[in-house]
Structure 1
Amino acid sequence: MLHHEITRNILDNLTTSIVFLDLNLNISYLNPAAEMLLQASLRRLEGKSIYDWLTLSEEDIALLNDSLQTGHPFSKREARVFTAQAQELLIDYSVNLLPNKGLLLEIQARDRLMRIEREEELLTRHATARSLVRGLAHEIKNPLGGIRGAAQLLERELTDVELHDYTRVIIEEADRLRNLVDRLLGPHKLPHIEQINIHAILERVCSLVRVESGHKIQIVRDYDPSIPEFSGDKEQLIQATLNIVRNAMQALQESATEHPQITLRTRALRQLTLGSERHRLVCSIDIIDNGPGIPSELISSIFYPMVTGRAEGSGLGLSIAQAIINRHKGLIECNSEPGQTRFQLLIPLEQKNENTGSCLDS
Structure 2
Amino acid sequence: METTSTTPSGYGFIGLGNMGFGMALNLRRKMPKDSTLSVCELDEGRRKTFKEQASAFGLVDVLDSPKELASVSDVILTSLPFAKAVSDVFEDPSTGLLAGSPNGSDKLFIDLSTIEVSAALAVGDAVAKSEAGVFIDAPVSGGIPAADNGTLSLMVGGRREDFDRALPVLETIGRKESIFYCGKAGAGLAAKQINNYIANVSFLALGEGMNTGIRYGLDPKVLADIINTSSGMCWNSLHMNPVKGVQPNSSASRNFEGGFKTELAHDVTSMAVQLMNDVGAKHVLGNVIKDVYDRAIESPHCKGKECRSIYRLLVEDDGKGLGTTKIE
Task: Tell me, yes or no, whether TM beats 0.5.
Answer: no
TM-score (norm 2): 0.27
TM-score (norm 1): 0.25
Q: Would you tell me which structure has more strand in proportion to its own residues?
A: 1
